Amino acid sequence: MEVTITDLSPCKKQLRIEIDAETVNAKFDAVAKDFRRHANLPGFRPGKAPLANVMRSYGDKIGEEAKRTLMSDSYSKALKENDLRPVIMPEVEDLQFGHGKPFQYLATLEVTPSFELPDYNGIEVEKERRTVSDSDVAKALDTLREQRVSYADVDRSAGEDDFIVVNFTGTIDDKPITDLVKVARGLTEQKNFWLHTKQTPLIPGIVEALIGSGKDDKKTVTVTIPDDFIYEELIGKEAKYEIEIVQVKEKFLPELDDAFAKGFGAESMEKLREGVENDLKNELEYSLKKSIRNQCVDKLLSAVNCDLPETIVNEATRAAVHNIVQQNHQRGVGKDIIEENKDRIYANAKADAEVRVRANYILSRIAEKEGIKVTDQELSRQIAAIAAQQKVKPQKLAQQLKDNGTLYQVQEEIMNGKVIDLLEEKAKVTEIDPKPEEEHTHSHEHGKDCGHDH
């Protein structure tokens, strides 16, 4: 067997495989003998017909079986001898096949990237010296108070901290704003819309102009669209708003007392405070642990720069686009806005997919080197956990995963988690002073797919 490999791209290969005529003839004979055992030819007992007769009667089927076996054996051997790991089924093109001739064919395939695995023992990471403070507990309790907030109608002029309920219409050059930006319906007309200087400002300057006004007042407010506005087409333009104040509402937060605590299932305010503090400590521990795990993967990603199989990246990109669109739908973003931003969504999804795919290859190589495997018990436990979240039976979910070919993703997630456990265990941790809040960024969340959350 002769194999010639042509590199079409770093992850795409074309194999030209040739099997000599002698081997082809031997395979034809072997297959013909198998057929002869079961052949019913006139004038011959089963299994006794001459091979020439069997070949004449079953020639096409014998040829198909011989080709299939020769191709399967030679392709597997070519992969093994050249250390190639395909990521998809190959595209095969026959060049020549027949009894008494060499068998020649082309196999085009994408393969896993080759790269040098960086040292993953003792990855240097940083851990912030952070503790839960009284201020943190107070902020968390304020958040709980916000969940029990109430609003009362007041018969007075609006103050800076009040909510102002309005009906309004907005125009630019005496035309509805939707004439300039079709999807800007919320800026053009609203009924019973709640405005607040900080929480729902609409366009800067509008709420400020309403301070001091009262119920049933009508105002015309003109504002200039600021430079950082969401719709670029409107920046710098003058918008005129006709506004009717429907109601002024004052915000009331409940007192932090035992009655408040019981509303959250605690016996007393003291017990609620203890519970909140414990929750914050658990969240902090989880956050610091996740940071170390993410740093480990980020360090590996920065050390490995390799080309990726186009098919795998495209699959991951499609999945990422689907997730982004689903999340936007759940947040109430309309189809027209999603369509308007489809290029940006795709670009973000592809960038995220490339990071995830590269991380998966790196972690997979480490798993292979360390002999880390996923057991049946671990797979069953993970499926049971996912089934509980989705409120379906584990057996039903397992069957769905098998049917749609995504069971490997669950295995991959478990495997990645086990590898990152190893990275975390061997990491060299340096404690540092806490960074300012604005420096806590989330550049890419490859956490779930790469097992960071384990």
Host H or E run for residue 18: strand 12-19
Last residue of a domain, one of 110, 137, 158: 110
Q: Same domain for 296 and 433?
A: yes
Q: Same domain for 290 and 399?
A: yes
Q: Same domain for 333 and 425?
A: yes
Residue 130: predicted pLDDT: 95
Q: Same domain for 277 and 392?
A: yes
Q: Same domain for 347 and 290?
A: yes
The distance of Cα 447 from the centroid of its chain, to the nearest Å, equals 9
Q: Same domain for 230 and 282?
A: no
In a domain, 167, yes or no: yes
Where do runs of H (alpha helix) occur along 88-188?
Answer: 134-147, 185-188
CB 222 within 8 A of CB 206: no
Q: Same domain for 19 and 81?
A: yes
Q: Same domain for 329 and 199?
A: no
In a domain, 118, yes or no: no
Q: Same domain for 373 and 274?
A: yes
Q: Is the CA virtual torsion 59, 61, 67, 73 positive or negative?
A: negative
- Written as tens digits, the pLDDT of the chain (454 aa) is 999 999 999 999 999 999 999 999 999 999 998 888 877 777 787 777 787 887 888 889 999 999 999 999 999 999 999 999 999 999 999 999 999 999 999 999 999 999 999 999 999 999 999 999 999 999 999 999 999 999 999 999 999 999 999 999 999 999 999 999 998 999 999 999 999 988 888 899 999 999 999 999 999 999 999 998 989 999 999 999 999 999 999 999 999 999 999 999 999 999 999 999 999 999 999 999 999 999 999 999 999 999 999 999 999 999 999 989 999 888 888 888 888 889 999 999 999 999 999 999 999 999 999 999 999 999 999 999 999 999 999 999 999 999 988 899 999 999 999 999 999 999 999 999 988 765 554 444 444 344 333 3
User: With b meaning 16 or more CB within 10 Å and e meaning fewer, what string describes 182-211?
Assistant: eebeebbbbeebebbbeeeebbebbbeebe
Q: Same domain for 411 and 313?
A: yes
Last residue of a domain, one of 219, 252, 285: 252
In a domain, 330, yes or no: yes
Last residue of a domain, one of 78, 110, 142: 110
- Counting the structural domains of the chain, the total is 3
In a domain, 137, yes or no: no
In a domain, 178, yes or no: yes
Residue 151: predicted pLDDT: 96
195 three-class SS: strand
Q: Are strands 428-432 and 124-128 parallel, antiparallel or unpaired?
A: parallel
Residue 49: predicted pLDDT: 79
CATH value at residue 354 = 1.10.3120.10
Q: Same domain for 428 and 288?
A: yes
In a domain, 260, yes or no: no
In a domain, 85, yes or no: yes
Q: Same domain for 160 and 247?
A: yes
CB 148 within 8 A of CB 244: no
26 three-class SS: helix
CATH value at residue 203 = 3.10.50.40
Range of the domain at 169: 150-252
In a domain, 412, yes or no: yes
Can you tell me the distance from the alpha carbon of 91 to that of 94, in angstroms, rounded to the nearest whole number?
Answer: 10
DSSP 196: B
Residue 437: predicted pLDDT: 66
Residue 440: predicted pLDDT: 53
CATH value at residue 48 = 3.30.70.1050
Can you tell me the distance from the alpha carbon of 120 to that of 306, in angstroms, rounded to the nearest whole number?
Answer: 17
CB 158 within 8 A of CB 248: yes
Residue 270: predicted pLDDT: 97
> Which amino acid is it at 351?
A
Say if pTM beats, i.e. exceeds, 0.85: no
